[in-house]
Structure 1
Amino acid sequence: MTAPIIEMRDVSKKYDAGRPALDRLDLTVDTGEALAVLGPSGSGKSTLLNLVAGLDRPSEGRVTVAGLRIDGMSEAASARYRRDRIGMVFQFFNLLDDLTVEDNVLLPARLAGTSRDEARERAAELLDRLGLQPHHARAYPGQLSGGQRQRVAVARALVNRPALLLADEPTGALDSASAAEVTRLLAELNAGGQTLVLVTHDVALADACATRTIELVDGGIHRDVRGGTVAR
């Protein structure tokens, strides 16, 4: 049996003297799962994602991802962890407008020390797999639709073959047709073995993509359902 890809034990995060953003949370995510994290604003969804991404540290508790203890890492070690172990997809794409599509996808691979030829081969493979044509590689993000830009963002997130893909409201800035494209893409990636953690307000997205759904309320797991979304 493989080890869990995420283990959070007794994790709390406090930003001030008020109620903690996360309160003694325990969570285990297995390799190959697609976990959707639902909950109202202020429930702790973004805090959970930031802790798993190494963008923030817990006030208490332990966070282990892909066999690596990350809660006490230095900033430099956290940056290497994000580069080597995880991919991140954001609501507003976070593409660099002055770089071509290809160069946006290449950037993490080049920062990781991958040769340009190898990185270009990987980028071309991903863009093709994600339904983008060769001429799109030479385009700039501003020339693409929202759905196409999010596909580029997913390619960039996958270029270093991360153990874990994190998606923060990945359809939140898209029209319904583009959102449906990205939803299908995320489901296909998970079906192909990619472990996914998805933070969203969109129950339909969770229904389409997730093999498991948790609902956070006041910094804790209120419900945990495998094979479907929590009842609303």
Structure 2
Amino acid sequence: MTTPVIELREVGRRYDDGPPALHDVTLTVRPGEAVAILGPSGSGKSTLLNLIAGLDRPDAGTVTVDGVRVDRLGEAGSALYRRSKVGMVFQFFNLLDDLTVTDNVVLPARLAGMGRGQADRRARELLETLGIDRHARTYPGRLSGGERQRVAVARALMNRPPLLLADEPTGALDTAAGQDVGRLLADLNADGQTVVVVTHDLRLAESCTSRTVRIADGGITEDVRSHAVAPEALR
């Protein structure tokens, strides 16, 4: 059986004196899986995403991603971990408007120390694969929402991370662009990319993932695989 990409064991997180944001969460995601984390606002899904991304630390339990104990990392270690292990896609793209599409995409690689020539070649490859190479020299403000999200996906994949995290990736898009992003995520997963999508949109989950994990009141209430489970996930 393959080593998990994500392994959470009895994870808990509480803020101030309120009820726990997460409690006793155990979750395993294997290479090649596409998993949707579903839940309403306040259910704990964003806290779960932040723990996996190393943006927050649990009060209890362990968080391991691709062999790295994320819960033990300091600030510098967390930043290095995010550069090498996790690609992140957000609802509002988080692109830099004063940089071209190519410069936005190469930024993570340049921060990781990759040479400009190698980074540009990798960016061209990604932009071509994602069907937006014609916009390489365009500034993000001139693109549609769906095109900007494709740029964000290219940036997230720049350093070949084992895990792609998508946080409400269609929340700022119209229906047609949202469906396009769903197909893109499904295609990436079909090529072997492990994908975790945090969303409240069941239609998005059904279009691009083969496993649904539901969260309510800080705990996992359901974990269901569809018939289309990636073969790698079952080894």
Q: How does 1:146-185 map to 2 (within 5 A)?
A: 146-185=145-184
Q: Which residue of 1 aligns with 2:132?
A: 132
Runs of 4+ with deviation above 3 angstroms: none
| Match runs of 1:36-115 below 5 Å | 36-115=36-115
Q: Give the 3-state SS of the residue equivalent to 2:120 in structure 1.
A: helix
Structure 1 runs not aligned, ≥5 long: none
> SS of 1:18's equivalent?
coil
Structure 2 unaligned runs (5+)? 228-235
Deviation at 1:181, TM superposition (A): 1.0
Provide, for residues 175-216 of structure 1, a one-character-per-residue CA deviation record: whole Å limited to 9, x for no partner.
111111111100000010000110001100000111100100
Residue 122 (structure 1) aligns with? 122
Instruction: State the AA in 1 paired with 2:151.
Output: V
Give the aligned partner of residue 30 of structure 1. 30
1:89 Cα deviation from its structure 2 partner: 0.1
Kept after mapping to 1: 8 A contact 2:124/2:133: no
Q: In structure 1, what is the Cα distance between the partners aligned to 2:133 and 2:39?
A: 37
Paired amino acid for 1:186? L
Q: TM-score, normalised by structure 1?
A: 0.97
Structure 1 residue identity aligned to 2:24: R
Coordinate RMSD, CA, aligned: 1.1
TM-score (norm 2): 0.95
Corresponding position of 1:213 = 212
Within 2, Cα distance between the matches of 1:142 and 1:35?
A: 31
Q: What is the SS of the residue equivalent to 1:107? A: helix
Please state how far the C-alpha of 1:32 moved relative to its aligned partner: 0.7
Aligned twin of 1:4: 4
Mapped to 2, the partners of 1:42 and 1:16 lie a distance apart of 15
Letter in 2 for 1:2: T
Kindly provide the amino acid, as one letter, of the partner of residue 167 in structure 1. Answer: A
Identity %: 67
